[in-house]
Amino acid sequence: MEVAEEQVHISVRNLVEFILRSGDIDNRVAGTDKDAMLLGGKMHRKIQRRMGADYHAEVPLKIEIPCNGFTLVIDGRADGIIENASGIVIDEIKGVMRDLEQIEEPVSVHLAQAKCYAYIYATQKNLDEIGVQMTYCNLETEDIRRFQSVYAYEDLKRWFLDVAGQYEKWARYQVRWKQKRNTSIKGIEFPFAYREGQKNLAASVYRTIARKKKLFIQAPTGVGKTMATVFPAVKAVGEGLGEKIFYLTAKTITRTVAWQAFDTLKEQALRMKVLVLTAKEKTCFCEETVCNPDACPYAKGHFDRVNDAVYELLTTSDEMSREILEEQAKKWNVCPYEMSLDVSNWVDAIICDYNYAFDPNAYLRRFFGEGNSGEYLFLIDEAHNLVERARTMYSADLYKEDVLAVKKKVKNTAPKLAKKLEECNKQFLALKRECEDCQILNSVSHVYLKLLNLVTEMDHFLEDCKDETLKEEVLEFYFKVRMFLYIHDRLDENYLIYSEITDDGRFRIHLFCVNPAANLKEYLDKGNSTIFFSATLLPIQYYKKLLSTGKEDYAVYAESPFDTKNRLLLIGNDVSTKYTKRGEDMYERYARYIRQTALAKRGNYIAFFPSYRFMENVCDAFMKLPGEQIPAVMQAPYMSEEEREIFLENFEENTEEGLVGFCVMGGIFSEGIDLTADRLIGVLIAGPGIPQVCRERELLRAYFDGQGISGYDYAYLYPGMNKVLQSAGRVIRTEEDEGLILLLDDRFLDYRYRKVFPREWKDFQICNLNSAAENVKNFWSAREASKTSGINPEIMRES
């Protein structure tokens, strides 16, 4: 059977932006194009409808160019084609926020896009010449300025084939690399002996990818979920079921684990280019991240050199580590961050934070922008974190006080802008007078319209402003307004709009994304398949509701590979973190629980608390207890990376005295840290981690109650218990680990809380302050007995 020749696809827009870019990185240029993207689609359609019967809108065009060993396919959609007695004209529409008088000629990349469409259409219709029209439209005034020209077909052909010819070497690299990669993938096998449940988990991931579905995985610590998701995803790429893996995480530590998984597979001669995207601030070579040619030598002429830097890197190395990227960036004198984004186009797997895929302010437009999609496979690690992160990403707010502050700064230098700001301030003031504390609003469209006018005036101001300090202050507010407008365009039944007077007396309007699933869908639909996984994805229906709109999503509960005899689970029934029961006596009871446990078996423990204040009160009580003192360390707010490392180093030392760490649930030490073996032998968890009652939580509660769902569970119980499960997961990290989990609150015995327990927690025991130490001693004695005799301690007790 004849094998079909390989095809390489690229859009007209991506082609011209990639091949024809040049010059400097310069963030001093206002974000006109980004603003235009919010409104440009509507204006395109409005202009197209006005153009009459001779105007054909959104015409798909494609050309195939035979190359040696493959076919280059270039396609796109022309905004308009005008056909009348005067001839044929390609129309390219661009919406802008700036004054049209400032546009003296078409932007070269815009014109190049139109010329590509002109060549493709002229080729299809055998035309000797064709017209090109650039239509620029001011999105506020709807004024239009057009630039027209006529090109001979032969001139267009020479120009177009030169541009395509420059891309041919990149396409050829892509074809050859794909062949090498897929051949290597065929030879790899799962690198370890499968743990219990791990093989079924990997098979479920592969089946889900093959069916282009979504899968939710609840996988307890130690199942080996990272490799169980990475391996089948890599295999799927080799089978043509996906082209690029996005491994998305919330924390740095999990990015490291993912990198190590790919590295382990490379030990079997896997040829795969894997890139970890690092934030601009961390990779910048300069003391301050100021991205313009006057402040940064790497920004000057960056686009003149970066393509050569990327091509050399791709063709000389499979490794894309941060060190290698930085070395290459220095060699070619280009920005390391911007170069890494260009490298991401050509790698097989990208490991990065959620925001690179989902955040409207930070997502990679080359992959997830309007009109972009691909054969992407999404592996979303620690997916429980995505709910709150996505709510933040898709929400926006504005403060009346910020409007006034900017007005005061510009009133003497920009009276027109000050006037627009005052108009907005009056609307905020009117809403504030109606708001006693918090008010649900049906609409803020009148505010939206005023903000649209304000954005345009700010754009003019930013283009002309020479005072860099003032410009920076206005720019920060400009981005907030832009985000508010963007989110307003997305408002639907998944949002609440409310105004409030905050605790510090400020007044704000909040566009609150209650359920982010629909927003996430927009980005996830740009790929083939999504795997959500976590050690704490319970209850699964809660996460399915808030992370996906699909009705046919799969779910898998991976069985824990651990022997439950290696773990003691106790529930203390005589303490509570309820506000009504807090006081010196309760803090002392918690302190005594910690002390008795630590004395019953010397070792390293972490006690987790629902808040810093509760933790500090218990720690004070712990220090005041009479008798032998046990060393203790306490988490502080806003710890630097160095301070975190120092904190964790305390657990590397195994002293006879032992150690107690005092930490906060949901904080930096409650997930993503690995203290294996005797570096940690127990965790004590004070309370079910229920978030504090606050306005936003109450709004969530009311919203879900209104949908016929338990609002309390969605707003408080499930988020709180997730913190508990994460904290508990610190103690048993490998199959050899032994340890104990003390759940210290009588509410843990309530069915509503126990229904969120993982299956492996069904063997819990109940204790109180008088019996806890004895339970702990018996557990460790049984563990020692089983090691020395090799006999099951349960049998010993029965006999």
In this model, does residue 593 exceed pLDDT 70? yes
In this model, does residue 310 exceed pLDDT 70? yes
> Which tokens sit at 360?
């409207």
Q: Is position 317 within any domain?
A: yes
Report how far residue 155's alpha carbon sits from residue 159's, in angstroms, rounded to the nearest whole number: 6
Q: What pLDDT was estimated at residue 790? A: 56
For residues 248 and 165, membership in a common domain is answered with no
Among 315, 275, 70, CA closest to 175: 70
> Which tokens sit at 703?
């919203």
Name the band, by pLDDT with cuts 50, 70 and 90, for residue 374.
confident
Report how far residue 196's alpha carbon sits from residue 577's, in angstroms, rounded to the nearest whole number: 37
For residues 215 and 307, membership in a common domain is answered with no
Report how far residue 118's alpha carbon sits from residue 110's, in angstroms, rounded to the nearest whole number: 13
Q: Judge if the upstream peptide bond of residue 539 is cis by omega within 30 degrees of 0.
A: yes
- Find the distance separating the first CA and the last CA of the chain, reported in whole Å: 71
Residues in contact with 403: Cβ distance below 8 Å, sequence separation at least 6, in sequence order:
421, 424, 425, 428, 477
Q: Is position 179 within any domain?
A: no
| Residue 597, CA distances (Å) to 404, 480, 626, 649, 779 in order | 56, 50, 15, 22, 12
Give the CA radius of gyration of the chain.
30
Name the band, by pLDDT with cuts 50, 70 and 90, for residue 29.
low
Among 374, 347, 371, CA closest to 113: 371
For residues 388 and 506, membership in a common domain is answered with no
Name the band, by pLDDT with cuts 50, 70 and 90, for residue 43.
low
Q: What pLDDT was estimated at residue 725? A: 95
Report how far residue 532's alpha carbon sits from residue 552's, in angstroms, rounded to the nearest whole number: 14
Q: Is position 184 within any domain?
A: no
> Which tokens sit at 247?
């491994």
Among 735, 731, 725, CA closest to 562: 735
> Which range among 241-245, 508-512, 791-795 shows the weakest confidence by mean pLDDT?
791-795
Name the band, by pLDDT with cuts 50, 70 and 90, for residue 33.
very low
Name the band, by pLDDT with cuts 50, 70 and 90, for residue 542.
very high
Report how far residue 394's alpha carbon sits from residue 484's, in angstroms, rounded to the nearest whole number: 10
Identify which has the larger pLDDT, 204 or 85.
204
Q: Is position 727 within any domain?
A: yes
The number of distinct structural domains making up the chain is 5
Whether the Cβ atoms of residue 488 and residue 394 lie closer than 8 Å to each other: no
For residues 75 and 150, membership in a common domain is answered with yes
pTM of the full predicted structure?
0.91
Name the band, by pLDDT with cuts 50, 70 and 90, for residue 299.
very high
Would you tell me how many other CB atoms lie within 10 Å of the CB of residue 626? 5
Q: Is position 521 within any domain?
A: no
Helices and strands per DSSP (H, E), number in the chain: 29, 24
Q: What pLDDT was estimated at residue 94? A: 87
Mean pLDDT, rounded, for 330-356: 96
In this model, does residue 674 exceed pLDDT 90? no
Whether the Cβ atoms of residue 244 and residue 374 lie closer than 8 Å to each other: yes
> Which tokens sit at 383?
């997916």
Single-letter amino acid, residue 637: P
Q: Is position 106 within any domain?
A: yes
Helix (H) or strand (E) segment spanning residue 576: none
Report how far residue 253's alpha carbon sits from residue 446's, in angstroms, rounded to the nearest whole number: 45
In this model, does residue 34 exceed pLDDT 50? no
In this model, does residue 424 exceed pLDDT 50? yes
Report how far residue 313's alpha carbon sits from residue 317's, in angstroms, rounded to the nearest whole number: 6
Report how far residue 335's alpha carbon sits from residue 325's, in angstroms, rounded to the nearest whole number: 10
Q: Is position 707 within any domain?
A: yes
Helix (H) or strand (E) segment spanning residue 218: strand 214-218
For residues 604 and 684, membership in a common domain is answered with yes
Polymer length of the chain: 799
Up-side HSE of residue 765: CA atoms within 13 Å toward CB?
A: 18
Q: What pLDDT was estimated at residue 179? A: 96
Report how far residue 139's alpha carbon sits from residue 489's, in angstroms, rounded to the nearest whole number: 15
Single-letter amino acid, residue 737: D
> Which range among 264-273, 381-390, 667-676 shows the weakest confidence by mean pLDDT?
667-676
Residues in contact with 458: Cβ distance below 8 Å, sequence separation at least 6, in sequence order:
417, 474, 477, 478, 481
Among 328, 248, 284, CA closest to 547: 248
Mean pLDDT, rounded, for 122-139: 92
Q: Are strands 529-534 and 144-152 parallel, antiparallel or unpaired?
A: unpaired
Q: What pLDDT was estimated at residue 502? A: 94
| Residue 255, CA distances (Å) to 246, 353, 379, 609 in order | 11, 8, 12, 27
Q: Per residue, what are the HEC states of 673-688?
A: CCCCHHHCCEEEEECC
Q: Spell out the alpha helix ranges (H) of 90-188.
A: 108-125, 153-186
Q: What pLDDT was estimated at residue 50? A: 73
What CATH number is associated with residue 45? 3.90.320.10
Q: Per residue, what are the HEC states of 75-105?
A: EEEEEEEEEECCEEEEEEEEEECCCHHHCCC
Averaged confidence pLDDT in the chain: 91
Report how far residue 715's alpha carbon sits from residue 695's, in angstroms, rounded to the nearest whole number: 11
Whether the Cβ atoms of residue 553 and residue 220 lie closer than 8 Å to each other: no
Q: What pLDDT was estimated at residue 42? A: 62
Structural domain including 475 reads 396-513
Mean pLDDT, rounded, for 187-216: 95
Q: Is position 523 within any domain?
A: no
Whether the Cβ atoms of residue 124 and residue 165 lie closer than 8 Å to each other: no
In this model, does residue 312 exceed pLDDT 80? yes
**Per residue in 160-185, pLDDT tens?**
999 999 999 999 999 999 999 999 99
Among 291, 308, 287, 311, CA closest to 300: 291
Up-side HSE of residue 431: CA atoms within 13 Å toward CB?
A: 28
For residues 502 and 569, membership in a common domain is answered with no
Q: What pLDDT was estimated at residue 86? A: 84
Query: How far is CA 428 from its chain centroid?
Result: 32
For residues 16 and 53, membership in a common domain is answered with yes
For residues 434 and 503, membership in a common domain is answered with yes
Among 728, 740, 724, CA closest to 570: 740
Helix (H) or strand (E) segment spanning residue 127: none
Name the band, by pLDDT with cuts 50, 70 and 90, for residue 798.
very low
Report how far residue 799's alpha carbon sits from residue 795's, in angstroms, rounded to the nearest whole number: 6
For residues 663 and 615, membership in a common domain is answered with yes
Q: What pLDDT was estimated at residue 203? A: 96
> Which range among 101-115, 319-333, 682-696 shows the weakest confidence by mean pLDDT?
101-115
For residues 695 and 731, membership in a common domain is answered with yes
What CATH number is associated with residue 660? 3.40.50.300
Whether the Cβ atoms of residue 200 and residue 252 lie closer than 8 Å to each other: no
What CATH number is associated with residue 436? 1.10.275.40
Report how far residue 275's alpha carbon sits from residue 325's, in angstroms, rounded to the nearest whole number: 10
Handedness of CA 106, 111, 113, 114 (dihedral sign): positive
Helix (H) or strand (E) segment spanning residue 738: none
For residues 204 and 314, membership in a common domain is answered with no
Let me know the angle formed at the C-alpha of 622 by 620 and 623, rounded to the nearest 5 degrees: 65
The fraction of the chain above a pLDDT of 70, given in percent, is 96
Helix (H) or strand (E) segment spanning residue 720: helix 718-728
> Which tokens sit at 448?
């939206």
Report how far residue 656's alpha carbon sits from residue 602's, in angstroms, rounded to the nearest whole number: 7
Task: State the greatest distance between any 2 C-alpha atoms of the chain, in Å, as a whole number.
Answer: 103
Report how far residue 714's alpha carbon sits from residue 131's, in angstroms, rounded to the nearest whole number: 59
Strand ranges inside 690-744, DSSP E: 739-744
In this model, does residue 1 exceed pLDDT 70? no
For residues 499 and 614, membership in a common domain is answered with no
Mean pLDDT, rounded, for 443-463: 91
**Per residue in 731-782, pLDDT tens?**
876 777 889 999 999 999 999 999 999 998 999 999 999 999 999 999 999 9
Q: What pLDDT was estimated at residue 799? A: 30
Long-range own/partner contacts, residues 646-650 (CB < 8 A, 24 or more apart) = 648/673, 648/675
Strand ranges inside 561-681, DSSP E: 567-572, 604-609, 632-634, 659-664
